[in-house]
């Protein structure tokens, strides 16, 4: 599974980071990045929930 952030849509308020901090990190530049190496080690339901909860629809998952 791969998780993608559209940096042009992300507004950087950090809901994803708060929900799954081992996978998502909001950078000093103000948008989220994904630690792809942690995705496989993380409960996919938690990631899916964070993706679906992004208010800017900036996150997508490729199963």
Task: Give me 16's structure tokens.
Answer: 């994803």
Helices and strands, number each (H, E), in the chain: 3, 4
Nearest CB to ligand SF4, comparing residues 44 and 56: 56
Name which position in 13, 39, 42, 61 contacts ligand SF4 (CB under 6 A).
13
Provide, rounded to whole angstroms, the least separation between the CB of residue 58 and ligand SF4: 4
Yes or no: say if 60 and 2 are a contact pair by the CB < 8 Å rule.
no
Tokens of 61: 């998952």
**Would you count residue 47 as binding ligand SF4 (CB under 6 A)?**
no
If binding is defined by CB under 6 A, does position 34 make contact with ligand SF4? Answer: no
């Amino acid at each position: 599974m791969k998780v993608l952030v559209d940096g042009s849509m992300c507004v950087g308020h950090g809901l994803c980071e708060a929900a799954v901090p081992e996978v998502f990190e909001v950078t000093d530049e103000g948008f989220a990045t994904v630690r792809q190496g942690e995705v496989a080690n993380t409960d996919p339901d938690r990631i899916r929930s964070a993706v679906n909860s992004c208010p800017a629809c900036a996150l997508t998952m490729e199963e």
